[in-house]
């Protein structure tokens, strides 16, 4: 995992912690809704970053068959 990816994961984790703390405070419904949406977005971002990178395909798909000539 790259340093940049680790830094992004750390930033998202910090944001998630902050939003969880904020949800424990006295908020208006509008504020609570905003923070819950942001929390959901941060969780989605962490899930996306945690996915392994797709491996490039190295097959011969789309190339001609050498035995045909």
Q: Is residue 65 part of a domain?
A: no
Residue 57 has a pLDDT of: 74
What are 6-61's pLDDT values in tens digits? 999 999 999 999 999 999 999 999 999 999 999 999 999 999 998 877 777 766 65
Q: Please give the pLDDT value at position 59.
A: 61
* CA 28/CA 22 separation, integer angstroms: 11
Question: What integer pLDDT is reported at residue 27 of this predicted model?
Answer: 97
Q: Is pLDDT at 68 greater than 70 in this prediction?
A: no
Establish if 63 belongs to a structural domain: no
| SS3 sequence of 19-41 | HHHHHCCCCCHHHHHHHHHHHHH
Write out the residue range of the structural domain in which residue 45 sits. Answer: 3-52
pLDDT at 43: 97
Total count of domains within the chain: 1
């Amino acid at each position: 995992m790259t340093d940049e990816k680790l830094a992004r994961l750390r930033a998202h984790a910090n944001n998630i912690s902050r939003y969880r703390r904020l949800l424990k405070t006295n908020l208006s419904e509008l504020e609570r809704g905003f923070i819950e949406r942001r929390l959901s977005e941060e969780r989605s971002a962490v899930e996306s970053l945690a996915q392994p990178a797709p491996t490039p395909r190295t097959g011969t798909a789309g190339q001609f068959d050498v035995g045909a000539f």
